[in-house]
A and B are shown apart, each in its own frame.
Chain A
Amino acid sequence: SQKIEQNSEALNIQEGKTATLTCNYTNYSPAYLQWYRQDPGRGPVFLLLIRENEKEKRKERLKVTFDTTLKQSLFHITASQPADSATYLCALYSSASKIIFGSGTRLSIRP
Chain B
Amino acid sequence: EAGVAQSPRYKIIEKRQSVAFWCNPISGHATLYWYQQILGQGPKLLIQFQNNGVVDDSQLPKDRFSAERLKGVDSTLKIQPAKLEDSAVYLCASSSGLAGGPAKNIQYFGAGTRLSVL
Contact = CB atoms under 8 A, between A and B. Distances in A.
A44 B109 contact: yes
B4 interface: yes
A98 B59 CA distance: 12
Contact of B93 (A6, A43, A100): A43
A89 B42 contact: yes
Interface stretch (B61-69, B72-80, B98-106): B98-106
A6 B42 CA distance: 10
Nearest to A6: B42
B4 A43 contact: yes
Please classify how large the interface on chain B is, using the bins under 10, 10 to 19, 20 to 34, 35 or more: 20 to 34
Contacts, number: 56
Q: Is the interface of A mostly helix, strand, loop or mixed?
A: strand
Given A31-B102, A93-B105, A41 B42 contact: no
Given A42-B111, A43-B93, A43-B112, A101 B106 contact: no
A99 interface: yes
A49 B43 contact: no
Contact of B42 (A42, A97, A101): A101
A41 B111 contact: yes
Contacts of A100: 45
Nearest to B91: A43
Contacts of B105: 34, 93, 97, 99
B84 to A, nearest CB: 21
A46 interface: yes
Nearest to B58: A98
B104 to A, nearest CB: 9
B45 A99 contact: yes
Given A43-B112, A89-B42, 5 more contacts: A34-B107, A43-B91, A43-B111, A49-B102, A101-B44
